[in-house]
Structure formats: structure tokens, C-alpha cells
Amino acid sequence: MTCDQAELHMAELLAGEIAPAERRTLEQHLLECATCRDDFELARVGARVEWADVPVPHELIETTRASLREPPPLVRFFRWGTAAAALLGVAVLLVTSSRSIPPTPPTVAAAACASPRTDVLATMQDAVVGGLACKDEDGRPVGDLGLRSHEVSVEILDGVAKTTVEENFENHTDRRLEGTFTFPLPADASISRLALEVNGKIEEGTCLERERAKQVFESIVRRMQDPALLEWQPGGLFKCRVFPIEARATKRVIVAYTQTLPCFQGKMTYVYPLASEKTRTHPPGEVTINVLARFSGALAKIESTSHHLDVQRKDAHEASMTFRATNYRPNNDFVVALEPTEEEVRVVCHKPEGEDGYFACFATPKGGEARVPAKYTCVLDASASISAPRLEVAKRLVRAMMERRIPGDRFEVLTHSVEVTSSGEVDLRAANTFMDSIRPIGGSDVLKALEAAGPGEIVYIGKGAPTFGETETAKILEAAKGKRIRTIAVGSDANLGLLERLGGLMRITPNDDVDKRVAEIAATLGSQAVSELKVEGPNVSDVGGTRDVFYGERLVAVGRYKAAGPSKLLLSGRGYRREVDVDFPAKEEGHNPVRRLWAQRRLSDLMAQGPSKQAEITELGVKYQIMTPYTSFLVLESEQMWKDQQLKRELQKQDQLLARCTTADADLRTEVTRKVAHLLELAYRATEQRKYDRTTTLCDEILLIDPEYPVAKDLREHVEKLRHKEEYGNFTARKLDALKKLTDGDATPKIPEAEKLRIPSREQWGEVSKRLTEAVIKTESGTTVGENEGRLAVDRKLDTMKVDMAFENTKLEDVVAYLRDASGLNIVLDADVRDKVDPDKVVTYKASNLTLKDNLRSVIGPLGLDYMVTPDNVVLLTDPWKKALAEVATRDAGRRKDPLTGAEFISPTVTVKPVDPNNPAQARPGFSSQETARLDSWDVREQTFTRNVTASGAPITEALPMTVESFDYAQGIPLLGDIPMKGWLFKDGTTVDKPFGRFVGAGGTAYGLSRVEEEKAREEYRRYVMADFPGVDVEFATGSTGKMGRLQQRAGKGPLPASPDPDTVTNSTVLRFQGPQQRSADGASQTAGVEADMQIYVRQLEVQLAQIQELTTTVDEHRAKLAKSLNEKSMAVAELQYARQRAERLERDLSELEGKHVEMARDKAHLEEKVNAIVQNGANVNVAPKKALEGRVTAVALEIGLIVISIGKDDGVVEGDEFTIYRGGDIIARIVIDRADRKWAAGKIALKKGDPRVGDEVSNHIFISGPRPAFACETAVPVDESKAGLERIRTKMGLRE
């Protein structure tokens, strides 16, 4: 046993669960392994902990009780037809299992304990499509798998429907899953096939005896292989474990069940429960339902009442229909109504070789007596197990019955739970009132209710599940004997065992169309039931399925016959007798379902008789492959495994009929051909629909019939290829999808604080940024991008072109000419500078590998010239002053445009009004009386303005004496901004070098001005303008209208006082400022509005920008923090690893030490043994070790061999001690003390090498050579001897002089 195993067993031992054999092994291990022993001792301490129970507080009990008063959702989702549900107006309650409810793992052990429990109520299941609930390998549930396809094929033969359901589940996860397949079986159906996809192949299940199946299953599960076991569970829900379901793969499960369709008045209904909450929320990828109906008699009518489908008729007996849909969310079940025209009694036979024959007798008793008035007592089940929908159905049934009463009929309604309540004799209205007051509650005492009913016919409506009073079926039946009872079972979980035997059972199940069924049942009121119906005949045995039937109801009775040949079959019941001539065939391969039907009926009869028939049930179940409480379906991985398990597979004969009938019977051959053709057609269709799995299955079926059928072979191969191709395609598509998703996810980026920010639309951004860029470019270079490509080319050439130059005393003009030729640029010496620089001036210049620009500068710089590029792309060598002027002019031109609106700023206009128009001295070119001229530059301080009025365009600066008459800024125009402030000298000595300042917002942001500058500008404005005009004050209004500075005239609107400088006012020219609004009437105000809006917008953008910047900073900070944390984390991890390593090292050391300890302990034990041996030999080992003693020889009596030494008892010398006498490191003698005084001791010489002398050293140490080196000896030792001793010691110590 290893220590790991020991851990398991120690846990078992402490929990008292250990097996005796294991206990012994464990004990042995504990004896051997000290570590485990220690662990165990510790664990024993842990296992002995005590923690006494405390009582539950009383209030807690009460409050918990109170919280439980609300009734539990006992019955789940009782589905009726949609129409019915709407009519009933019943709230549908769906209970999904709460997360905290423990998942119920499909354990075999749990399933095994189920035994047939006809007495216990089965849980009502929502009859739905089978589901595959999965969990991954760590046991985490992943929910139900989606259905890729759901195929149902229904074969209705003489009213017996075989439904084969093929479900293809898709594992949508990336993990391998284990699933539990659950399949709800419709009431009175029996499972006849289970097949599972294993390694891409369909493996058929086989019905085995339950215990055996379980055994095999468990033995295989232990080996981690993948069998599946489908077992009978009470309640009609079947479960089976499915493993493995590979990641992203599909899994097919096939289940088939058989049921006899209820038939009344010649009408049959087949229902496939398709609609459910599950299929609505997770619709299957594809749904296909194929229905094939065939009757021995004619099939008068067949249609789907739930779906509009075309019916393909083959002949009078056979028809088929197909329903197909993709991503279908069914709202109702799939219902097929059939109306066969049948004789009253029809017998169908099946006789395989080597077996007794089977017959099925379909009888629909006709006739019956005329209805007579009677007393009816309707007993309604009102126990808590009746849900509201069921009760509603029961009520409707009572109403429907009462509506059909004939004169003289009397009705009474009884409800029963624990108590019985009677309505007394009632009419319809009173019955309604009575029934409305019913509230289902408590247990169900069926017998009490039956006893309470008076004479007349009793109609029992409910579940028939007694839970109170008398609950034993036999006793209830006994007590009810002699009463005329008919029973109507409501719900699929009714206790049919009791109700059937009480008499005249009819059922309403969730799959029924409630209204129709209610009407049908009500119609039977008053009609007689054929009771005690028997089917007899000579030569007939094992009859099953007989029961009470109403006239108009269809009875399916089955039996066996021994001898072939003509015979008679007698159907007899109370008041009914029919005799039918039958000719039992000697061999009949057709009508194969009869065989299964017989087994099924027979089994249900046997099961009703209880567990005593177990052996018989098991045998039948195995033989006919029908799942019963004692038989289970087992699916193994391969045929080999069946052989390995030495299991005989009972062939599913009835399902493989067609495979075997190869000869003789011509009809059958035709049928086979037809079947093959049909299958092939289906296969082709499936291929078209890309259902390759289906095609493969169909081809396999065909090949089962004819293994050499080439078409099927080819098709199968073809499909395999297609499938491969498709899978590859799917894979690629999935990949693409995933990639798409990756980018799709980014389509809506999340902007932090987006709700607070106002983000302009893409178009707005584009526009704004374009304009802003333009503005910036204009500010910086003075030209617009793309405006002048030639200019750019010139600049580029100047910057990049390299010219070698070597001139000596060359004329400047020639140098310029050379450069012009070399560069191809129009380099010109400005004519204006000719007076300053002589073009004939000679220069000496030499340079290589310099750019044109540098060369130019080097040549003309010393001459006091600079170069500039004119708008005509002429490189003009000119005066730097002129260049600067030109630059300012270009830049100003750029400034004159609003970067946002692109509109040109309109400078204020001046109106020049000569004081004396007749004075020619005041006449200035370009200024006339009342003339409005464009003001380009106006200097407030100097009170001069520059105007471009000369023909050459050169500015003329004139200082005009002027006085301001009035300001008219009523509309708050941005005039202030248009006052050029370049060169303004502030009081603090700084200057404004911006050509324009312009107030653009109430907050005071100015283009081209910083806030500080702006403030200065305001101040200056006040100081200069207002100081000059004391009657005027300036007020900067704030507000959201975007209107700027507003000037107000403090002293009314009258003329301003004269200029403070009387000298300049002599010529009293009046300047008048006029805002642009005034100038261009209405358009201007609009522009101002737009402009104002834009300004607000810009402000907002600025605020947003600030916010974004702030957020960016925060994000950066967080990022930094994160990085820091990560760093810390990695450091911590490193530390942890280091600590771990240290711990490991320590552990290793510890184990080493332990090893040493063990060794030492072993040595010790060894030594102890030796000691013991010594002790046994009589030695005294209990002598305490001596301390080291040293002394001198004080007296010597060699003649008697006695030596006296200088130490005695006080020093620790005792008699018997041995001392060695040394001299100079040499052993002289050894003495044994025989007398010890306090201060001295005397001993006899025991060993003598030389003669001891007085002064020699004594010691009880055992040295090889004396206690000390000789040179440390006392003087009593002769020097020569000491030297010799020293020498010897040295030699011994390996020292040389």
C-alpha cells in the first residue's frame, strides 16, 4: 500500500467505513510508515472534535413554517391545445429548476432502485422533445444542447403508431461533454428502440434483463468506455447517459416507441408532442416529420389538423405526408386526424416461422341500447394534486355532459379530497356555481367519494390516486363492486391501474385537443359500455388487451394461435356478441407489428398483475425488445463488445422484417422494392437538404435490405465526400465568423464619460478640423495649403538643392545669374535695393555641398540683404525690412478669415469727415467727405491709420488728427478684435506681436491672443481709448449670446468731449466707426448669429477636449498604477516561488536530517545492545563520565609501586580512577588510584614504561601524546628531555624546523 492509498483508507477508517481486509493492510502500513502514523495520530485528534448541537430557535421555526405556507408548484406546465389554453385562460406555469436545486446526476445506482410502482403517482412530465442536458468533464453543467435536426418518422399501421425520433444534438462548446438524454414517453407508449451514435456510427441498443444490463454497463463504465443504458423510470421519463460528446461535434440519438391510437366513432388522432417551452426557446435547426399511414381497411380521410400539409395518397389504404421546417418554433403539437373505414371486427394475423401465430383483433362495437333517463353522479377529484387546468377540464366535462342530458336525467356533483362535498341534485346553473367554488386541497380519498355517491351511474373524473383513507387498490375495487362506475382519467399521470378496473375508462391527456375530447367523452354519456368483453376461440391463447369499451370505441385485442386454418373468433360482453370467421395462415410475414403489439398488450396486462410476474415480464421484454421495469436497453460501442460480454443480441425481428424477406412472397418483394425506392428517394432528398447523416442512415437501411445495391453504395460514398467538404467549409466559415465577431465587437467603441461629452458627428469633426488646420497653417506659414504649389516647389528647391560655388571677385549680378541658371529659379535682385547695394559689387565666395538657401544667405547676408519668395514665385533678393513687411501682410491676410466659418472678418470702416472741406491742406488722396474707407490698420495710440491707397499698393502711413464723435456698438459687434494691436507697448514693457486681437466669446478667448495678452489688451483699450475719451466707458458684457464687448456711452449719446490733446484736434477730422452689421444690413446679423453659435460650439469642444485630456491623464495614471501592481505582483510571485523553493529545500533538509536521526537512532540502539551485553557480563556502565583532571606527581615509592599525586577527592578523584603519568609528552606510567584523600591521592602503577618522578604530570585524559607540548612543561622537567620531547612532538605533528 502506498501512502496515497493509505490516506484514502485512513479517511475511511476514521469515518468507520473501512472494509476489514483494507483495515488490515492499512494497519500494516501504519506499522511500517512513521509519516503516515504521525498523520493518523493528528487526524485522530481532528476526528475527535466535539461541537454539540444547539436547538433551533423557536421563532426561526415559526418564520420558516410561515414562509412555506404558500403551495409548492406541484404540477408543471400542463399543456393543452393552444386554442384550449386560450379558452381556459389558464396561466401557464413553467418551473425551471432553480440553480440551487442539486443537479440530478444520472447514476445507475439510483436508477436501479426504481421498481414498478403502479400505486405511486408518477410525476407528470411536460411531454417534450427529448433533451440532452450536459455537463463538462469538471462536472460544471452547461445546460441542454441545441438540436441541429429533429427527425420524426411515424408509421401508422392499422391504428398502431410507431414513432421513430432521431435527434441530432450539437455540442456548441469547446469542451468534451457528458450528457443525460431524457425522453418523455407519451402515455401508454412503449419504447422499442434505442440507438446512439458512437464514433460516427449508429449503434443499436438491445433490450436485456435489467440487472444483467446494469452489470455490463457498470463493468464497462469502469473501463472508461462509452456504453449507454436506457432504463425504465416511473413517471414515463427515460434517461440515459451519453458520453463522450466531443467539442463542436454532433451526437445522434434515435428512440422509437409504439402506441395504439385512441379511436372513437371511427376517428383516430395521432399527436406528436412538438410544442414545448424548450423547442420554442431553442428551436431545432431542422424539423422533419414523415407520416405514413396504412390500414387494412380503407383510409377514408387523413389530414394534419395542426399544420397545412399535402397528403400523398398511394391508394385507398395508404397515404403519407411530410412536414419540414427550419428554425421552427412550434406553437402547437403535430396532430394527424385519421378516419379509417373499418368493419366492425377485423382480424389481422402474423405468423413467423417456428413460432405460434399472432393475431390482432380490431373491434368497434356498434349498436347499443337507446339512451334512457338516469341519475348521474359526477365525482370530481379536488385533491391538491389536481392542478387548475385539470380541474377546468373536469368542469368542462361535467358541463358538456349536462348539456347533453335528456329529459328525466338527474345530475349530482360530488367533489372529493379528504372530505366529500355534494352539490345535491343540480341543474346546469347550480352545478356551475357549485363547481366554481371548488378549491383543490389536501389528499384524495377515492373510496369515500364512491361510497358517498348514491345509486345511478357514477362518473369519476380525476386522477384516481388515493392518498388518504383507503389507498389499497384491491380494497377500493372490492368496496366499489356492484356500482355502475365509469372513469375519466385526466392527465397523463393518472392512476390507470385503478381507474381501468373501476370501469369504463376514458382518458384526456395533455396531448389531446381538449374540446374535441371533452365532446367525444360527453357523447358517450348514457351509451352503454360493453363490459366484461372477451375474445375467445378454439385454438386461441394468450389473449390480451381486452377491456370495457363503449359503443363506438375501438378495441385492440391481441392473441396467439397455434394451428393454422379456418377458425372462429368470438367477441362477447354484456349485451354484445359477435362471431367472426378467421382463416389463420400457416405463414404470414406481413402485418409484422402485430407481433410487437401482442407482446406490448401482454406485457401491460402482466404488469398490472404486479411484481409476481417479473420473470414472465422480463422474458417477454427481452424476447420482443420492449423496455419494461425489468428490462433495459443497452448500447455498446461495437459488435465486438457484445461478444466480449458474451451477450446474445436478440434480433429486433419486427424491425428487420424487410431485411429478411428476400424470397417467395411476391407481394412482399413488391413491398421491398417499394420500400427501397422510398428510402432512396428520401436519401436523395436528404442529400439535397445536406442532411448527410440522414442519407448515410437511409443508405445503410437500403444496404441492409440489399447489401449489393449499387446506387445506395455510390450515394453513400458520394455523401461521405460531400460531408467532408462541408465540414471543411463549415470550419472555415466558423473561423471567418469568429474573425468577424472580433472586429464587429469594435464597431461601437466605448468612449469614457461619453454621456457627459458632446461628440460632434463625423461630418462636423471633419469640417471643424479642416478649418482649424487651415487656420493654423495660415497662422504659421501665411499661405493656404494647396494654394500655391509653385511656392512649395520653390521652397523645397531652396531647402534641398545643393550647389557648389567658387567665385573670386565676381560681380554680384553674375553670381545671381549663375544661381539662377543652376537652380532654374527666378532669382532676382530687387531694384529697390540697387541704391543700397551695387549690383556691380564684386564678391568672393567659395562653398561646396551647401543648399541653395544657405548659399544665398552666405552671399547676400554680408551685404545686408535677405531673400524672400514673392507670390509670383520670384526669389527676390531684397531688404529684410521689406521682407518682414510682406510677411506681416500675408499673415494678416490669413488672420482676416474666421477659421470656423471661413468668412472674412470685416474691418471697421472709417468715415472721414474733413472739418473744413474747403481747406485743401486737409484733402488727402483717397479720403473725401463722408467717404467710407477700408481701415486696414489703425493705431489707437498714435491715432494714425495705414491705408492701402497708393497705386503701387505700398502702404502710406499718415498720422491723421482726429476726434471720435461717437461710438455705435449697440449690437455688440466684435469690433474690438479688429483693432490691430501689433506693436502695442504695454505698461509693463511687453509688446503685443500679434497683428490682430479679436474677442470671440463671453469668456474672452481671442484668436491669436493668450488670456494674459487679452486681459492686457482690454486694459490697454480702456487706458488708451477711454482715457482719451473720458466720457466713454467700456463694459465687457458676459453672457451666452456670444456678443462681445459692448461700449456704452456713459454721458448719454451726445458728442464726446474734444481730444485731450488740443494740438492734434485743430484739423478736427471726425472718425466714425461703423460695425459690419450696419454695413451689410440683414445678412450680417445672420452671419453673426452663426458665428456666435460656432463660437459656443468651439468653446464646448474646447471644454470637451480638456475633459478628454483629463480622462486621458487619469487613464494614464491608472495604467501606470496597473503596471506598478503587475510589477509588484510578479515580484510577489517570484518571492513566493523563492519561498516555495526554500520550503522545498528545508523539507529536503528535514528529511535528510530525519534520515540521519534514524541512522543515529539505529546506532544508538546498536550501542545499547552492546551495552546491554556488557551489563550482562557484569560490567558497571553506570559510571558517570569523569571530568578532565590534571595534577603532578608529589611522591614516588617505586619499590612498592606507589605513586602519590597532587589532586584528591576535592578535585573529583575517586578510588579506581586511572591516571596517566606523562613527562614531556611521553607516557611514563599508568596508575590506578586505590586511595583518595581530600587533597591527594595515591595509586599503584598499572603500566610502567619508565620510572615516574616527582613533578611528572598526571591526567585522566587519554591522549596519544600527553596533554600539552613539552615546551609548556614546568621547570622540574630537565631541559634536554624537554627539547627531545618537543622534537618528538614536532615530528609527530609533521613540523620541521
Partner 1 sequence: MMGDLRELSDEDLALRARTEPHGAFEVLFERHRGPLYNFLLRQGADAGRVDDLFQVTFFKAFRALPGFREESRFKTWLYTIAVHVLTDDRRATLRRGPTTEIRETMLVTEPELPRRDEIDLVKTALDQVPANHRRLFTLVRFQGLPIAEAAKAVGMTPAAAKVTLFRTTRRVGELLSPAREKMK
CB of 44 to partner 1, least distance (A): 7
What's the distance, CA 338 to chain centroid? 47
CB of 16 to partner 1, least distance (A): 9
Task: Please answer whether residues 285 and 327 qualify as being in contact, where contact means their C-beta atoms are separated by less than 8 angstroms.
Answer: yes
Q: Cis omega before residue 995 (within 30°)?
A: no
CB of 251 to partner 1, least distance (A): 23
Q: Closer to partner 1 at the Cβ: 237 or 428?
A: 237
Residue with cell 627531545: 1284
Q: Closer to partner 1 at the Cβ: 63 or 800?
A: 63
CB of 419 to partner 1, least distance (A): 12
Residues making contact with partner 1 (CB under 8 A): 4, 7-8, 10-12, 14-15, 17, 39, 41-47, 49-57, 60-61, 63-65, 67-69, 71-76, 97-102, 104-107, 110-111, 113-114, 120-121, 123, 139, 383-385, 442-444, 465, 467-468
Report the residue count for the chain: 1297
Task: Please answer whether residues 603 and 116 qualify as being in contact, where contact means their C-beta atoms are separated by less than 8 angstroms.
Answer: no
SS3 call for 349: strand
CB of 461 to partner 1, least distance (A): 17
CB of 21 to partner 1, least distance (A): 17
Give, rounded to a whole angstrom, the gap between the first and last alpha carbons of the chain. Answer: 68
CB of 119 to partner 1, least distance (A): 11
C-alpha cell at 1126: 503587475
C-alpha cell at 351: 405468423
CB of 50 to partner 1, least distance (A): 6
C-alpha cell at 1091: 458665428
DSSP characters over 129-167: --EEEEEETTS-EEEEPEEEEEEEEEEEETTEEEEEEEE
Q: Closer to partner 1 at the Cβ: 107 or 281?
A: 107
CB of 70 to partner 1, least distance (A): 9
By C-alpha distance, which of 671, 1032, 1113, 1090 is closest to 901?
A: 1090
Task: Please answer whether residues 534 and 546 qualify as being in contact, where contact means their C-beta atoms are separated by less than 8 angstroms.
Answer: yes
CB of 104 to partner 1, least distance (A): 5
Q: Closer to partner 1 at the Cβ: 57 or 1294?
A: 57
Q: Closer to partner 1 at the Cβ: 242 or 1101?
A: 242
Q: What is the dihedral of CA 383, 386, 392, 398, to 10 degrees?
A: -50
Q: Closer to partner 1 at the Cβ: 469 or 1212?
A: 469
Integer angstrom CA distances of residue 954 from 423, 870, 901, 910? 120, 15, 30, 20
Q: Closer to partner 1 at the Cβ: 443 or 575?
A: 443
CB of 491 to partner 1, least distance (A): 13
C-alpha cell at 833: 535695393
CB of 153 to partner 1, least distance (A): 31
CB of 434 to partner 1, least distance (A): 24
Give, in degrees to the nearest 5, the angle at Cα 1193 between 1187 and 1199.
125
CB of 189 to partner 1, least distance (A): 21
3-state helix, strand, coil in the chain (%, to 5): 35, 25, 35
Residue with cell 427529448: 130
CB of 229 to partner 1, least distance (A): 14
- Count other Cβ atoms within 10 Å, centred on residue 942: 11
Integer angstrom CA distances of residue 180 from 194, 226, 373, 385, 1089? 14, 13, 55, 28, 73
Q: Closer to partner 1 at the Cβ: 467 or 511?
A: 467
Query: Residue 580 carries which DSSP code?
Result: E
Strand ordering across the sheet containing 131-136? 141-144, 131-136, 177-184, 237-245
Q: Closer to partner 1 at the Cβ: 21 or 113?
A: 113
Q: Closer to partner 1 at the Cβ: 74 or 739?
A: 74
Q: What are phi and psi of 508, to 5 degrees?
A: -125, 120
Q: Closer to partner 1 at the Cβ: 50 or 988?
A: 50
Q: Which H or E run contains 520?
A: helix 514-523
Q: Closer to partner 1 at the Cβ: 51 or 881?
A: 51
For residues 463 and 345, what is the distance between their CA atoms, to the nearest angstrom?
A: 32
CB of 1129 to partner 1, least distance (A): 20
Q: Closer to partner 1 at the Cβ: 53 or 1063?
A: 53
CB of 54 to partner 1, least distance (A): 6
Identity of the residue numbered 184: P
CB of 135 to partner 1, least distance (A): 11
- Write out 383-422 in H/E/C secondary structure: CCCCCHHHHHHHHHHHHHHHHCCCCCCEEEEEEECCCEEE
Q: Closer to partner 1 at the Cβ: 155 or 231?
A: 231
Identity of the residue numbered 1121: K
Positive or negative torsion for Cα 443, 448, 454, 460: positive
For residues 1012 and 1005, what is the distance between their CA atoms, to the nearest angstrom?
A: 10
Q: Closer to partner 1 at the Cβ: 112 or 822?
A: 112
For residues 1243 and 165, what is the distance between their CA atoms, to the nearest angstrom?
A: 115
Q: Closer to partner 1 at the Cβ: 40 or 867?
A: 40
Q: Closer to partner 1 at the Cβ: 468 or 684?
A: 468
List, in order, residues 6 or more apart from 1162 with CB less than 8 Å away: none
By C-alpha distance, which of 532, 612, 625 is closest to 194?
A: 625
Q: Closer to partner 1 at the Cβ: 113 or 372?
A: 113
By C-alpha distance, which of 506, 500, 502 is closest to 522?
A: 506
For residues 507 and 518, what is the distance between their CA atoms, to the nearest angstrom?
A: 10
